[in-house]
């Protein structure tokens, strides 16, 4: 065929076509398509079966590098309308209806060839499909206009009429269309106007209408083409088009061959399955909770795959650096997860497309990893509300989700739920703890630090309690705050949610700060540092904020405990040291961890809470606990940080600064004094019982226990 014969103006195109006078396909569509380099069509009820009618014309069109854009309005059933009225996400309902149209067309054997060609055009980036619907005054309706535009690079042919882009519309029905050609003076303005109408539609600039991307088009057409080809016992249409997803892109989590799953981790997974896929794993820091959870998810994926069921896995972690760590491990299990944090724009589209692919069956699984904050926000909640398939929720450090603002966001639709925490009980929050077990289930497996040490998963340690006294000012403030706490607990009980900004929570934090900032700690710390001045891999946990008495005196210049300790370590003792705090950007924090792990660049890291949950510092050999805490979660987390195993590391040292009342009691009430000591000793007892030097520790504390009648504590 000569170049000139491919020009639209060289084709004998009429001003109109009607079923009683001609064959619309043979006399108009095929000749116009044979000459065009692009084809735009906006029409109600588009169905892929039309491509079976176009036949060879599409082959030639594709061979010339032709491009197609199609806007369609899917047929909405009564059930679709009910779903929209019930609040289902509109895009999901429209795509569901469009998929149904294509699947219906795929049932016709004549559609196999056309579907394959459509898939090839999409794969080559030369065909786009969008969906249109009426959106006006709260109502949703069907876009029913029918226009089309052929172009050849020089001229265009626009048409409009009754024919839908369906097989019955083109072949079986009585239809008519009007045609407008730019080389005909009387047609020019009409042709250009129709062309502009299409562009306005495509760019969603048409009043009363909304036009959205049909994100699932590629996947569903591939699936339908493959299904039709198999049913018709045809050879593959194209290897790239119908190839099954590669294992790493299928969304299926799979245990990597090089991973050694410990016996206790296998037991944890078995216990979770025995509980029906719900429960909490209480596993000590450093025992491999992440790999255990992913092994459970991979096993669940495998079971559902055998039933031809897909699975969406959502991992919720407290902080962004933990999301990054999870994503790194998930990649080992063969899946590239979606990281949902920071800018919604960076992940929302990917997550929405994943849900569409799961709904359409073009993906068998997928993983979204998010922070607590992003999980609770509206964008991700809207994504989860759309999902109608199998859902697994994995909550890292699940105790955090017991907070009222978070637990209310946990999706009831999740058939499978897995909570992970070394300490799932929430301190002074019985309601939050109960909410966790109500949602995730009971603790189904437990691996404490003692068990982990005996199993060789954590290293052994020595524990050295260092006694320091409150001064008179601190002792009186402690007694005053404790009295206020007692009154609130007597009136309201201890189940009050202390995560909220309420009086009890504020008082508990203030009392903890009094102990954490005790002024005598820094001189005692200096003595311990001098004794270990040549040791590397040392961590120091400081109390948050400033001394409570500094707030009362309104002294804005008093340095924080961390600032004072940093000056002591770095300036006075000349030990290479750096703070590791939330104010430091993540890339710099990662750099600090690498310098610390080197054993030659950074001798000391000082932190407050940033090293509490999930940060891997296995090289750490010595931990100083300045920040006194009777919160089991906090002190167990901090002990776990330093007990992780590392090459060349067989042992760790923990130095804990224990606050006691002043030798001269003064006005400090005797019972308040006794309870303060008991509160501190609860941590000491927990740390000492698993230490290599348990007997030595008990000897150090025996006089204090005798003084306050706490030998059984």
Q: Look at residue 254 and tell me whether its pLDDT is greater than 70.
A: yes
CB count in 10 Å sphere of residue 37:
16
Confidence of residue 24 (pLDDT cuts 50, 70, 90): confident
- For 282-311, write each residue's pLDDT tens digit: 998 888 899 999 999 999 998 888 888 899
Q: Which of 127-136, 146-155, 508-517, 630-639 has the highest mean pLDDT?
A: 146-155
Return the bridge partners of 73, or none: 44
139 to 83, 145, 213: CA distances (angstroms): 13, 18, 20
Tokens 């950007």 — which residue?
A: 585
**97-108 average pLDDT score:** 66
Per-residue confidence (pLDDT) for residue 55, from 0 to 100 = 44
Higher pLDDT, 240 or 450: 450
The fold of 250-454 is Rossmann fold (3.40.50)
Q: Which of 530, 509, 523, 507 is nearest to 471 (CA)?
A: 523
Give the H/E segment covering residue 659. strand 651-660
**304-326 average pLDDT score:** 90
> Would you say 390 and 309 are in contact if contact means Cβ atoms under 8 Å apart?
yes
Six-digit token pair at 544?
Answer: 């948050």
199-203, 309-313, 470-474, 615-619: least confident range: 615-619
11-20, 458-467, 553-562: least confident range: 553-562
668 to 114, 472, 548, 674: CA distances (angstroms): 88, 9, 18, 10
Q: Look at residue 344 and tell me whether its pLDDT is greater than 80.
A: yes
**655-665 average pLDDT score:** 79
CB count in 10 Å sphere of residue 243:
11
> Would you say 166 and 49 are in contact if contact means Cβ atoms under 8 Å apart?
yes
> Would you say 37 and 184 are in contact if contact means Cβ atoms under 8 Å apart?
no
Confidence of residue 123 (pLDDT cuts 50, 70, 90): low
135-144, 303-312, 356-365: least confident range: 135-144
Confidence of residue 3 (pLDDT cuts 50, 70, 90): very low
Higher pLDDT, 1 or 75: 75
What percent of the chain stands above pLDDT 90? 30
Q: Look at residue 245 and tell me whether its pLDDT is greater than 50.
A: no
CA atoms within 13 A of residue 451's CA, in its CB half-sphere: 13
Per-residue confidence (pLDDT) for residue 602, from 0 to 100 = 94
Q: Are 4-242 and 250-454 in the same CATH fold?
A: no
- For 535-545, write each residue's pLDDT tens digit: 999 999 998 88
Q: Which of 49-53, 89-93, 303-307 has the highest mean pLDDT?
A: 303-307
- Quick check: helix, strand or coil at residue 231? helix
Six-digit token pair at 247?
Answer: 């294992």
Confidence of residue 1 (pLDDT cuts 50, 70, 90): very low
Q: Determine phi and psi for 704, rounding to 5 degrees.
A: -65, -40
CATH class of 460-674: alpha beta
CB count in 10 Å sphere of residue 258:
6
Domain limits of the chain? 4-242, 250-454, 460-674
Residue 663 and residue 394: Cα distance in Å, rounded?
49
Beta strands in 296-451 (DSSP E): 311-317, 338-340, 365-371, 390-396, 416-421, 443-447
Q: Look at residue 461 and tell me whether its pLDDT is greater than 90.
A: yes
- For 188-209, write each residue's pLDDT tens digit: 999 999 999 999 999 989 888 8
Per-residue confidence (pLDDT) for residue 61, from 0 to 100 = 79
Cα 585 to its chain centre, rounded Å, is: 21
Confidence of residue 646 (pLDDT cuts 50, 70, 90): confident
Q: Which of 558, 705, 538, 712 is nearest to 626 (CA)?
A: 538
Six-digit token pair at 67?
Answer: 């491009």
Q: Determine phi and psi for 346, rounding to 5 degrees.
A: -75, -20
Which architecture characterizes domain 4-242 according to CATH?
Answer: 2-Layer Sandwich (3.30)
Number of H helices, E strands in the chain: 29, 22
Q: Look at residue 616 and tell me whether its pLDDT is greater than 60.
A: yes
Q: Look at residue 446 and tell me whether its pLDDT is greater than 90.
A: yes
The DSSP call for residue 180 is E
Per-residue confidence (pLDDT) for residue 667, from 0 to 100 = 45
Q: Which of 195, 202, 221, 215 is nearest to 51 (CA)?
A: 221
What DSSP string runs through 521-565? HHHHHHHHHHHTTT--SEEEEPPSS--HHHHHTT-TTSPPHHHHH
CB count in 10 Å sphere of residue 498:
22
Q: Which of 466, 608, 600, 458 is nearest to 539 (CA)?
A: 608
Residue 150 and residue 158: Cα distance in Å, rounded?
6
Confidence of residue 271 (pLDDT cuts 50, 70, 90): very high
> Would you say 157 and 10 are in contact if contact means Cβ atoms under 8 Å apart?
no
Reading phi first (left if > 0) and then psi (alpha if -120 to 50, else beta), residue 335 is in beta
């Amino acid at each position: 065929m000569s170049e000139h014969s491919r020009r639209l103006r060289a084709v004998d195109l009429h001003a109109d076509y009607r079923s009683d006078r001609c064959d619309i396909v043979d006399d108009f569509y095929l000749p116009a398509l044979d000459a065009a380099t692009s084809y735009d069509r906006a029409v109600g009820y588009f169905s892929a079966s039309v491509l079976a009618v176009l036949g060879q014309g599409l082959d030639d069109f594709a061979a010339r590098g032709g491009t197609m854009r199609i806007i369609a309005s899917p047929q909405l059933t009564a059930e679709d309308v009910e779903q929209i009225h019930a609040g289902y996400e509109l895009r999901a309902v429209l795509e569901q209806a469009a998929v149904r149209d294509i699947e219906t067309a795929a049932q016709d054997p004549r559609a196999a060839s056309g579907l394959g060609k459509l898939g090839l055009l999409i794969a080559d980036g030369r065909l786009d499909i969008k969906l249109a619907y009426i959106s006006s005054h709260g109502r949703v309706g069907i876009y029913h206009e029918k226009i089309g535009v052929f172009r050849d690079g020089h001229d265009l042919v626009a048409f409009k009429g009754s024919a839908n882009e369906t097989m019955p519309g083109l072949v079986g029905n009585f239809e008519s269309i009007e045609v407008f050609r730019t080389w005909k003076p009387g047609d020019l303005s009409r042709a250009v106007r129709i062309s502009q109408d299409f562009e306005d539609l495509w760019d969603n600039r048409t009043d009363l209408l909304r036009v959205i991307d049909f994100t699932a088009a590629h996947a569903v057409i591939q699936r339908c083409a493959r299904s039709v080809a198999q049913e018709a016992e045809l050879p593959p249409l194209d290897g790239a088009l119908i190839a099954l997803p590669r294992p790493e892109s299928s969304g299926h989590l799979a245990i990597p061959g090089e991973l050694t799953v410990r016996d206790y981790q296998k037991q944890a997974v078995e216990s979770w399955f025995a509980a029906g896929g719900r429960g909490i794993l209480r596993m000590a820091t450093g025992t491999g909770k992440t790999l255990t959870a992913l092994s459970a998810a991979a096993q669940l994926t495998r079971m559902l795959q055998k039933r031809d069921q897909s699975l969406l896995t959502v991992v919720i972690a407290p902080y962004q650096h933990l999301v990054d760590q999870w994503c790194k491990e998930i990649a080992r299990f063969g899946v590239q997860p979606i990281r949902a944090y920071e800018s919604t724009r960076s992940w929302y589209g990917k997550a929405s497309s994943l849900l569409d692919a799961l709904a359409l069956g073009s993906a068998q699984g997928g993983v979204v990893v998010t922070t607590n904050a992003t999980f609770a926000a509206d964008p991700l909640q809207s994504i989860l509300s759309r999902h109608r398939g199998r859902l697994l929720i994995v909550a890292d450090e699940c105790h955090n989700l017991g907070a009222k603002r978070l637990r209310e966001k946990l999706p009831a639709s999740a058939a499978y739920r897995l909570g992970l925490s070394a300490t799932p009980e929430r301190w002074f929050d019985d309601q939050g703890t109960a909410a966790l077990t109500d949602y995730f289930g009971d603790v189904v497996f437990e691996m404490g630090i003692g068990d982990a040490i005996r199993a060789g998963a954590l290293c052994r340690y020595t524990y050295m309690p260092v006694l320091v006294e409150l001064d008179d000012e601190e002792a009186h403030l402690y007694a005053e705050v404790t009295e206020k706490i007692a009154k609130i607990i007597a009136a309201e009980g201890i189940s009050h949610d202390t995560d909220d900004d309420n009086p009890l929570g504020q008082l508990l934090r203030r009392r903890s700060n009094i102990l954490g900032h005790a002024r005598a700690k820094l001189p005692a710390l200096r003595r311990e540092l001098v004794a270990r001045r040549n040791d590397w891999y040392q961590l120091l946990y400081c109390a948050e904020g400033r001394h409570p008495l500094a707030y009362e005196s309104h002294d804005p210049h008093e340095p924080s405990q961390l600032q004072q300790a940093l000056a002591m370590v770095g300036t006075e003792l000349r030990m290479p040291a750096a703070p590791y705090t939330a104010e430091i950007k993540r890339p710099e924090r990662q750099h600090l961890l690498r310098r610390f792990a080197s054993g030659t660049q950074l001798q000391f890291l000082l932190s407050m809470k940033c090293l509490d949950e999930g940060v891997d510092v296995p090289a750490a050999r010595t931990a100083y606990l300045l920040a006194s805490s009777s919160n089991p979660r906090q002190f167990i987390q901090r002990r776990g940080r330093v007990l992780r195993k590392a090459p060349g590391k067989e042992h760790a040292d923990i130095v804990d600064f224990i606050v006691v009342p002043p030798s001269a009691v003064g006005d400090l009430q005797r019972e308040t004094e006794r309870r303060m000591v008991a509160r501190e000793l609860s941590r000491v007892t927990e740390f000492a019982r698993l230490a290599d030097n348990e007997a030595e520790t008990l000897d150090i504390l025996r006089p204090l226990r005798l003084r306050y009648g706490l030998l059984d504590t």
